[in-house]
Structure 1
Amino acid sequence: MIDYREIPDTNIIEFSIDGKITAEEYHKFAEKALAFFEKHKKVRILKEIISFEGFDFAIFKERLLPDLLRHQGDITHAALVADEKWIEQISSMITPAFPCRVRQFKLNDLGAAREWLRTAKEDSIEVTSDSKGNCMCFKVTDKLTHHDYEHVLIPTLEAVIKECGKARMLVDFGKEFHGMEVHAMWDDTKFGLTHRHDFERMAIVGGPKWSKWAARLGEAMMPCEVHAFAAEDYARALEWVNAPIKSEVGAKS
């Protein structure tokens, strides 16, 4: 069974799955969801899986299925509410392939899932007030996407490079980093290769366990200093990324 709901005056839809999904139920769901996508263009979704007992294979012949799949890129945020571990594991495996920001909640946390879906920011990265001169400071608050690189990170840094010649960058992952879209990883690689000589220093603060490894790799690939700092060492990272480079100190003395 699929129970479909639209939240008034928002771009949020919810649907609950309980038991087996029939082809007829899926068709009705697809019709309503497609109409909602056409109306709102960008949509946030809450998927509650109370129980799952399979689906009719006739769903693969559903004529609206291709249209629905084409709208995957129009989902900006998705809350998955389920207790089954295997559902969470599948979600974690496929999430990087899509641009939407995803959070997983237990069934008894339905209220928290709705609150997150309602209040989550559109962008996952922002320029902070600690930015000054040729040093740009970024705060990451969710999953990094192609949109974040295309509309925030890349144009900000390219403007600084154009104006100052060289840039410095601090990225604060904090505790809200939730991975990267595959397209964003490619954006990061291309930008790094294009501007590998345009940076003086880079500081990575907090983030996943691989952030220190990424800092070492970055320092090996780019002719600038790249350091990783613990989340609680933000102030030290900010001081370091803004400090004069040794050659600058020697030139001034």
Structure 2
Amino acid sequence: MILYHTTHGSSVIEISVEGKITDGELREAIERMRDDLELNGKTRVLERIEHFTGMEPKALWTDLTLGVSVARKVKRAAVVADAGWIRASMHLARFFTKAEIKAFRIDELEQARAWINE
């Protein structure tokens, strides 16, 4: 499941991911992010990932073909995750974006929000 939240006039997007990601959910989130990027230019993203169980194969392809081009337009990204391997893998994301990226534990959500808004 992907939940996408923005506040009108803000360049910060909060995305919550839980369980398995479907292709439809991912496509919808990417389209919303494209729209927000058109409105706000460089955007900041806070992504909270809990109980992640994977992605549909088609969603993985969508992420590689559509998501990467959107990720390149992100200015700063905070990833808040309950799984250590997700936080540790954030160094790989640097191959797909020029965004400043920082990983946080779930109990550091408020610190991540403060950092993303600096």
TM-score of the superposition, structure 1-length normalised?
Answer: 0.43
Checking the alignment, whether the CA contact within 8 Å between 2:30 and 2:70 is kept in structure 1 is no
Counterpart Cα distance in 2 of 1:238 and 1:209: 19
Runs of 4+ in 1 over 3 A off after TM superposition: none
Structure 2 residue aligned with 1:205 = 80
Structure 2 residue aligned with 1:164 = 40
Counterpart Cα distance in 1 of 2:21 and 2:59: 7
Structure 2 residue aligned with 1:186 = 61
Structure 2 residue aligned with 1:242 = 117
Structure 2 residue aligned with 1:127 = 4
How many residues are paired up?
Answer: 116
* Seq. identity, %: 24
Let me know the Cα RMSD of the aligned residues. Answer: 1.7
Structure 2 residue identity aligned to 1:204: V
- Residue pairs, 1:104-115, within 5 angstroms: none
Among 71, 94, 115, the alignment partner of 1:219 is 94
1:226 CA drift (Å): 1.0
- RCO comparison, higher one (Cα < 8 Å, 6+): 2
Structure 1 residue identity aligned to 2:70: H
Q: Which has the larger radius of gyration?
A: 1
Residue 113 of structure 2 aligns to a residue whose secondary structure is helix
Counterpart Cα distance in 1 of 2:47 and 2:97: 16
Gapped runs of 5+ residues in structure 2? Answer: none
The change in CA–CA distance for 1:193 and 1:173 in structure 2 (over 3 A counts) is closer
Checking the alignment, whether the CA contact within 8 Å between 1:160 and 1:166 is kept in structure 2 is no
Structure 1 residue identity aligned to 2:26: Y
Counterpart Cα distance in 2 of 1:229 and 1:186: 26
Gapped runs of 5+ residues in structure 1? Answer: 1-123, 244-253
Residue 172 of structure 1 aligns to a residue whose secondary structure is strand
Checking the alignment, whether the CA contact within 8 Å between 2:45 and 2:78 is kept in structure 1 is yes
- 1:47-99 CA deviation, whole Å, 9 max, x = no partner? xxxxxxxxxxxxxxxxxxxxxxxxxxxxxxxxxxxxxxxxxxxxxxxxxxxxx
Structure 2 residue aligned with 1:143 = 20
Q: Which has the higher strand share?
A: 2
Counterpart Cα distance in 1 of 2:82 and 2:58: 19
